[in-house]
Structure 1
Amino acid sequence: MQSNHSDNKKEQYNLNKLQKRLRRNVGQAIADFNMIEEGDRIMVCLSGGKDSYTMLEILRSLQQSAPVSFSLVAVNLDQKQPGFPGHILPEYLEAQGVEYKIVEEDTYAIVKDKIPEGKTTCSLCSRLRRGILYRTATELGCTKIALGHHRDDIVQTLFLNMFYGGKMKGMPPKLMSDDGQHIVIRPLAYCREKDIERFAIAREYPIIPCNLCGSQPNLQRQVIGDMLRDWDKRYPGRIETMFSAMQNVVPSHLADTELFDFKGIVHGSEVVGGGDLAFDRETLPMQPAGWQPEDEDDAPVRLNVLQVG
């Protein structure tokens, strides 16, 4: 009995520490990018996955102590995929006392009609979903749209664009929507996926799988994801360093003539970004930039999802 009591205390201690870390990371991202302002009404896009559940809980927690007043409304888009457990999210949100709206739109039928069998449906599906969520934000009078992408998603998108799109372009923590009408924020931008996964397991969220549509996975994103997870396992801190690099861009030491006036460099020009040190061996820190030490009890975890269909 004493052992069980000690285990429970340690488990609760670790959960509290994890929640504090997530709160701190979300709070810092909100402050750095001015994501939330006085009087904001934030539409929290809830998919039923670990990220959006965690985002909603942390935002609700921050509501209690934030220096500004803001409201939240959770929104889920029921796309009428076969086997989608439509009762799960309403039951969870009602039990939590969260204001919510379930939007029902049969985008599944549209996608299946337009996309040939065997081809990935993600691109069209996401465009349809985005348009519906923008419309819903307007109807609900929301000033911000919160998405559950985390730090690992942002780094993954950077590599996708570099490897396949030839651009140094990631997933911004805050930006205008593509229709120019809404401000999209990503409060989990500073959060590690492994922390979110561990938190979701501890909270026992009713996870809804994201493969109900039967679409083939995005193989390019899967390749990049596997590569980053392997790097993180073999070289702890590498993902943190790469994300830190996205926050420390030096245009004079890249090659984009739109960002820096290379043609304008003449004798007598000022030294920019430390100048050219090509002949020097650069000294790099032993500890990766932005690295956070792992907890002693950190271990690989697997998130259980609801068996539906």
Structure 2
Amino acid sequence: MQTLTAKQKYNFNKLEKRIRRCVGKAIEDFNMIEDGDKVMVCLSGGKDSYTMLDVLIYLKHKAPINFDIVAVNLDQKQPGFPEDVLPKYLESLGVDFEIVEEDTYSIVKEKVPEGKTTCALCSRLRRGILYKTANRLGATKIALGHHRDDILETLFLNMFYGGKLKTMPPKLISDNNEHIVIRPLAYCREKDIVKFSEVKEFPIIPCNLCGSQENLQRKIIKEMLQSWDKSHPGRLETMFNATQNVSLSHLADTSLYDFKGLKTNQMIEEGDLAFDQPTIIQPEIDSSLYADDEQIADEDKIDIAIINAG
């Protein structure tokens, strides 16, 4: 960890508390972790998964429930992958871990034509291996390191390029109904994670080892959101709030709302707003998540933000 001045340490402590509050609130809101869970924390070697592991280790010791953590990294045999980095780091933490070695790199290079992006096939292969590993380890939850900005980027990617109104949910069940996948960083801002990672000096492993092309569409969306965040502070928080404030009767999906069956004298929960001008308001945002002051001075109060179940 970096050596900090008194002021830098003060600011870092606020940042650390903010990230922990965000993770604790997400866990509580979506009941991500329950008593007796074994959480498989998927590590890529990037800033997000390192931050996720750091916070979950902290919460494991502070939470009013008992849960176990096992860190898992998938060594996909990309050329130049530094095999010693993650084991050394995880050993220094004293956390249970496993490095799974599977040569998906060769499969992807064989199947994907030169110049085409490899991300889709690589992701499918990686997901299948992680599911099998979770079964073998007896993990009840699989934790991924996607954060709030990833969720918003995916929302716009699906709208702009896929014609769908969907994104990464903070919690989901796998297609085979065998696994619960959670995203504890769902409320965390990427810019906070970047600062946190820099101070903690995590041993970052480059994400370009496979030599695949950058996802240009995601890059465009990311730049758009970052531009909005700079020119209109608070806009990303408002947009994320919208993903939790959905009015099905004011969209147009007939499979989710019975438009054909609408009759007069029905009670419509969201009211008749069809001819109204949109009301521009600032939705209520949980200021405790992103506040820079010390609204929660006592770190032990994070306990209230983690699983009330049981």
Q: TM-score, normalised by structure 2?
A: 0.89
What's the CA shift for 1:227? 1.0
Change (3 A) 1:148 1:202: same
- Alignment of 1:257 with 2:254, yes or no, is yes
Structure-2 separation of matches of 1:279 and 1:123:
43
SS in 2 for 1:117: coil
Alignment of 1:214-253 (within 5 A): 214-253=211-250
Structure-2 separation of matches of 1:32 and 1:199:
23
Structure-1 separation of matches of 2:165 and 2:10:
40
SS in 2 for 1:69: coil
What's the CA shift for 1:280? 4.1
Please list the CA deviations of residues 247-306 of structure 1 after superposition, one character each: whole Å capped at 9, or x if unmatched. Answer: 000111111112211122222122331322523452423x8845776759xxxxxxxxxx
- Alignment of 1:144 with 2:149, yes or no, is no
Structure-2 separation of matches of 1:90 and 1:124:
26
Structure-2 separation of matches of 1:127 and 1:79:
13
Q: Is the 8 A contact 2:18 2:291 kept in 1?
A: no
- Alignment of 1:95 with 2:118, yes or no, is no
Please list the CA deviations of residues 211-254 of structure 1 after superposition, one character each: whole Å capped at 9, or x if unmatched. Answer: 00000011111111111111111111111111100000011111
Q: Specify the alignment match of 1:177 in structure 2.
A: 174
Q: Is the 8 A contact 1:148 1:188 kept in 2?
A: yes
Residue 9 (structure 1) aligned to one of 3, 6, 9: 6
Unpaired stretches in structure 2, ≥5 consecutive residues: 294-310
- Alignment of 1:210 with 2:207, yes or no, is yes
- Alignment of 1:168 with 2:159, yes or no, is no
Q: Which fold has the larger relative contact order, with Cα–Cα distance below 8 Å and residues 6 or more apart in sequence?
A: 2
Alignment of 1:31-180 (within 5 A): 31-180=28-177
Q: Specify the alignment match of 2:301 in structure 1.
A: none
Q: Is the 8 A contact 2:14 2:292 kept in 1?
A: no
Structure-2 separation of matches of 1:90 and 1:101:
8
Residue identity opposite 1:215 in structure 2 = S
Change (3 A) 1:228 1:32: same
Q: Bigger shift: 57-66 or 7-16?
A: 7-16
Q: Is the 8 A contact 1:240 1:290 kept in 2?
A: no
Change (3 A) 1:171 1:106: same
Change (3 A) 1:176 1:281: closer
Change (3 A) 1:216 1:288: farther
Residue 19 (structure 2) aligned to one of 22, 25, 29: 22
RMSD: 1.8
Residue identity opposite 2:96 in structure 1 = E
Structure-2 separation of matches of 1:283 and 1:142:
45
Q: Is the 8 A contact 2:26 2:185 kept in 1?
A: yes
Please list the CA deviations of residues 55-86 of structure 1 after superposition, one character each: whole Å capped at 9, or x if unmatched. Answer: 00000001111111000000000111111101
Q: TM-score, normalised by structure 1?
A: 0.90
Structure-1 separation of matches of 2:221 and 2:52:
24
Q: Bigger shift: 68-77 or 265-274?
A: 265-274
Q: Is the 8 A contact 1:244 1:290 kept in 2?
A: no
Change (3 A) 1:91 1:256: same
Runs of 4+ off more than 6 Å = 291-294
Residue identity opposite 2:176 in structure 1 = D
Change (3 A) 1:283 1:79: closer
Residue identity opposite 2:42 in structure 1 = C
Structure-2 separation of matches of 1:103 and 1:164:
34
Structure-2 separation of matches of 1:207 and 1:249:
37
Structure-1 separation of matches of 2:41 and 2:152:
22
Alignment of 1:263-278 (within 5 A): 263-276=260-273, 278=275
